[in-house]
Amino acid sequence: MNWDDLRIFLAVARAGSLTAAAPSLRLDPATLSRRVSRLEDALGAALFSKGVQGYALTERGLRLMDHVAEAEALLARGAEAGQGEEELSGQIRIGAPDGCATFVLPQVCAAIQTAHPGLELQVLALPRVVNLSRREADMAVTVSPPEAGRVTVQKITDYHLHLAQRRDRPEPATLAELRALPLVGYIPDMIFDRDLDYLDTIGAARVDLASTSVTVQMMMLRQRGVGIVHDFALPFAPELHRVLTGAVSLRRAYHLVRHESDLRSPRLSKVAALVVQGIRAEVARLEAEVRRAEAAARHLGQQDA
């Protein structure tokens, strides 16, 4: 069996289609199709179910992917043995919910990559839990820690969420007034993490403007309505501000999840430590910026009065 064919199989399995896998492999889709067919012929089994939606793994493909991903990780650890103690290089993929991926990780990854130019950092932002056992990513930031699987979990930091709306709209004084306004939030039946379900907290029966994406929700709030927003996201939307902070204040936590076999990789452990340190510092910085802005606004309001 050719390792190059297995590497191609792994890339197609992760990307879900030949077209999506082609750029990273620097091969055209027709070549990938031939290589996948060659591997299937060698194994005497179909590895993918091919359709208009892309390439979906068969049961045999799922089993093979677990073994090939493990072999890839072992090869990567072997390559690390020749690196210097402080040298960090190669590709690292970090999975994260889109709030963290959009508003926190860009600054964190930029700082890490500046200090270690040999690294290629990728952020996988998905409205679902990243599957580390299938090697979709090298590590993942999650809200609720996983309860099963061959993984390790490290708490990174707490973060805070509050109701927010446009500054130029009348501010609700009570939760009863809030419920009369259009509510922005997650699509209820597509919430992939129980800690992202905020409806019971505010006593809401429905969501009027909904998305699986935190970024889309904030764009909706720029138009109308009120919704739960990460405090650390508010510096990126100055037209929004927190409301009813005394009535609704949520605290959640981010955790770093890694495959347990990766603990033997000094390179991944070093990057993981930098990611944890960076997220902690960036969340604290952004949340402090929100508090300073609100204190300044209150002070200005008192002066005007």
Place of tokens 């690292």: 92
Contact assessment for residue 234 and residue 240, using Cβ atoms and an 8 Å cutoff? yes
Q: In the prediction, which pLDDT does 85 show? A: 47
What's the CA gap between 273 and 255, in Å, rounded? 12
Contact assessment for residue 122 and residue 93, using Cβ atoms and an 8 Å cutoff? yes
What's the CA gap between 14 and 9, in Å, rounded? 9
Residue 282 amino acid letter = E
Contact assessment for residue 165 and residue 241, using Cβ atoms and an 8 Å cutoff? yes
Domains and CATH numbers, the chain: 1-82 (1.10.10.10), 159-250+287-304 (3.40.190.10)
How many of the other CB atoms lie within 10 Å of CB of 183? Answer: 21
Q: In the prediction, which pLDDT does 83 show? A: 52
- As averages over each run of 10 residues, the pLDDT of the chain (305 residues) reads 83 84 86 90 89 83 80 64 64 93 97 95 86 83 86 94 94 90 92 86 86 94 95 96 93 93 86 96 96 82 62
Q: What angle do CA 225, 227, 230 make, to 5 degrees?
A: 140
What's the CA gap between 234 and 261, in Å, rounded? 37
Q: In the prediction, which pLDDT does 123 show? A: 95
The CA R_g of the chain, rounded to the nearest whole Å, is 23
Q: In the prediction, which pLDDT does 64 show? A: 87
Contact assessment for residue 126 and residue 250, using Cβ atoms and an 8 Å cutoff? no
Contact assessment for residue 257 and residue 151, using Cβ atoms and an 8 Å cutoff? yes
> Which residue blocks in the chain are alpha helix, DSSP H?
3-15, 18-25, 29-43, 59-80, 98-103, 105-115, 175-178, 199-202, 214-221, 266-304
Closest CA to 157 of 262, 248, 259, 282: 282
